[in-house]
Amino acid sequence: MTKKKQGALTGLALLAISLPLVFGLTQAPIQTWDEARQAVNAFEMLRSGGHWLVTTFGHQPDLGNTKPPLLIWLQALSMSVLGPGELAVRLPSLLAALGTVGLLHGAGRAVGRPAWGLLAGAILTTTQGYLGPHLARSGDYEALLCLWVLGQVLATFAYAETGRRRYLAGAAAAVAGAVLTKGVAGLLGLPALALYILWTKRLWATLRRPAFWLAAGGAVALPALYYVLRERALPGYWAAVAANELGGRFGHNLSATTQPLLYHVQNLLRYQLRPCWPLLPVAGLLLAVGPATAARRLGGLAGFFALSWLLLITIAKTKLEWYPAPMLPPLALLLALGLGLGYQRARGWLKAKSLAGRQPWLGLGLALALLAVPYALTARRLLRERHDYTTWGGMTSYGTYLRHYPAPPAGARPLLVYYPTDAGGAWAMQYYQEVLAERGLAVVRCGPDSLPAGLAPGRRVLVCLPHLRARLVRRYAVRLVRQREVCTEYEVQGPAPKAAN
């Protein structure tokens, strides 16, 4: 096959691999909880007039979210180009996910098996957890963290294989990027990588190299500079970091629920690694008995790294659904390399049976057979999401309505939004309230037990949940203005004939 044809096929494969990441990316509104918080941080930073060091929420310093602001900076820059909206909030995560696919392809090329790198990318983008909340299709930290952490793994492997200084610099850059993305979580993979360097008998030689200390100094200096400047800008930040990250989440349960010790193992099997997890033991066995090649060594590092990460998050007291996220790209690579070695053995068997002519089609057929069901399940899920206005609860329906709200006429009264007052819902509403205010629509919020008495005729009220709608119509006579999916906008006509609480 000519290089031109090979390049065209590689491009088509990358396009198919990336399609699940981009398809219908803006269909869902800003999600409750963390995506909404980051969106507010980024929007307020963009409108702050140059204050890009201290993140804010509700235009007050945000000490509830103590993570460094690399993601927030990228989202604010994205908003400055595209305007505030779902695409701008999610674009940094999308680019990080595409970069992760590119790194997996590059890893395959580095061990002389580019097709296996493509297979790793396809496995990753059809894995349920990687496309779920908090990851590749969401404006959260995890997709960017996954990119940096995979960069740490691959740079460490490349350095162990070649000893070249540039890979030390690459690993240092990946460490700094991970810390600037999610603080101490960006360091969780370093024990496994240090042990791998020790196992390859390069540790002591590495410690004697000035290039190592220069790279390590750079990896520490950039995040440290941010933390120092941030603390100087608003004292108390470091104390919040220490309480939240430095022992806080590890030694104490900071989540709303208590999970069993093996929660993350159950989560990987039931959700994060579906539907490919049954192939992990097969791939691991094929790697274990395979020849001593670079592909086998890379697969071994990927598996060891994933186990180390799993151990650390299992020991930690706080256990959240997305904590295993940085394991997913290395595990996809392990699967691809292990199955690739199995394919090599199949080729040898065909050759021994004088069936060599069938070899060119064997790899393609096996890859398509392996990916057919995961890709079909992924396509069905994404198509269903296009017609499902919520992914994380009823509050999302308010965002579905408000993001399409038409430009109000001059002098229009504020829109009263009647909604549940849970924290995550408030964050999503805060984002749309600030964005719509810039478009000329004033939004006033009230909770389920605080519907104002004596609303004047002509006042418009938005309600999306049935029990709140029932309360509204019991208290006021209303006229339907417009309806979208489950959300209804009413105009108050006056008190209901028989007002009731």
Q: pLDDT tens for residues 185-232? A: 999 999 999 999 999 999 999 999 999 999 999 999 999 999 999 999
Percent of the chain, pLDDT > 70?
92
Q: In angstroms, what CA-CA distances link 448 with 32, 226, 494? A: 18, 41, 20
Are both 402 and 300 inside the same structural domain? no
Instruction: Provide the pLDDT for residue 5.
Output: 80
Contact (Cβ atoms closer than 8 angstroms) between residue 115 and residue 327:
no
452 vs 78 pLDDT, higher one: 78
Q: Does residue 42 lie within any of the structural domains?
A: yes
Q: Does residue 13 lie within any of the structural domains?
A: no
pLDDT classification of 350: cutoffs 50, 70, 90: low
| Low-confidence winner among 17-26, 107-116, 250-259, 373-382 (lowest mean pLDDT) | 250-259
Q: Does residue 463 lie within any of the structural domains?
A: yes
Q: Is the confidence at residue 424, as pLDDT, over 70?
A: no
Q: Is the confidence at residue 355, as pLDDT, over 90?
A: no
Are both 45 and 84 inside the same structural domain? yes
For residue 424 the two structure tokens come to 């995550």
Instruction: Provide the pLDDT for residue 501.
Output: 47
Q: Does residue 25 lie within any of the structural domains?
A: no
Contact (Cβ atoms closer than 8 angstroms) between residue 91 and residue 82:
yes
Q: Which long-range contacts (CB under 8 A, 24 or more apart) does 298-303 make?
A: 298/107, 298/110, 298/111, 298/157, 298/333, 298/337, 299/333, 299/334, 299/337, 299/338, 299/341, 301/153, 301/156, 301/157, 301/196, 302/153, 302/330, 302/331, 302/333, 302/334, 302/337, 303/330, 303/331, 303/334
Q: Is the confidence at residue 181, as pLDDT, over 60?
A: yes
Instruction: Provide the pLDDT for residue 392.
Output: 46
| Low-confidence winner among 58-62, 394-398, 464-468, 496-500 (lowest mean pLDDT) | 496-500
Are both 408 and 483 inside the same structural domain? yes
For residue 422 the two structure tokens come to 């849970």
Contact (Cβ atoms closer than 8 angstroms) between residue 117 and residue 45:
no
For residue 215 the two structure tokens come to 């790279």
Instruction: State which of 366, 385, 404 marks the end of a domain.
Output: 385
Q: Does residue 293 lie within any of the structural domains?
A: yes
The boundaries of the domain holding residue 290 are: 32-385
Are both 253 and 355 inside the same structural domain? yes
393 vs 446 pLDDT, higher one: 446
Are both 77 and 149 inside the same structural domain? yes
Are both 47 and 137 inside the same structural domain? yes
Are both 381 and 402 inside the same structural domain? no
Instruction: Provide the pLDDT for residue 351.
Output: 66
Instruction: Provide the pLDDT for residue 412.
Output: 77
Instruction: State which of 336, 355, 385 marks the end of a domain.
Output: 385
Instruction: Provide the pLDDT for residue 391.
Output: 47
Percent of the chain, pLDDT > 90?
56
Say how many domains are in the chain: 2
Instruction: State which of 385, 415, 442 marks the end of a domain.
Output: 385
Are both 404 and 378 inside the same structural domain? no
Q: Using CA atoms, how far apart are residues 135 and 343, in angstroms rounded to an integer? A: 31
Q: Does residue 10 lie within any of the structural domains?
A: no
Instruction: Provide the pLDDT for residue 7.
Output: 85
CA 251 to chain centre: 24
Helices and strands in the chain, H and E counts: 20, 7
Q: Using CA atoms, how far apart are residues 329 and 360, in angstroms rounded to an integer? A: 27
Q: Does residue 77 lie within any of the structural domains?
A: yes
Are both 344 and 401 inside the same structural domain? no
Chain mean pLDDT for the chain: 88
Are both 337 and 409 inside the same structural domain? no
Are both 319 and 445 inside the same structural domain? no
Q: Is the confidence at residue 388, as pLDDT, over 60?
A: no
Instruction: Provide the pLDDT for residue 150.
Output: 98
Q: What SS3 class is residue 326? A: helix
Instruction: Provide the pLDDT for residue 389.
Output: 47
Are both 51 and 130 inside the same structural domain? yes
Backbone angles phi, psi at 408, to 5 degrees: -80, 155
What mean pLDDT do residues 453-463 have? 89
Q: Using CA atoms, how far apart are residues 368 and 3, in angstroms rounded to an integer? A: 22
The residue type of 52 is: W
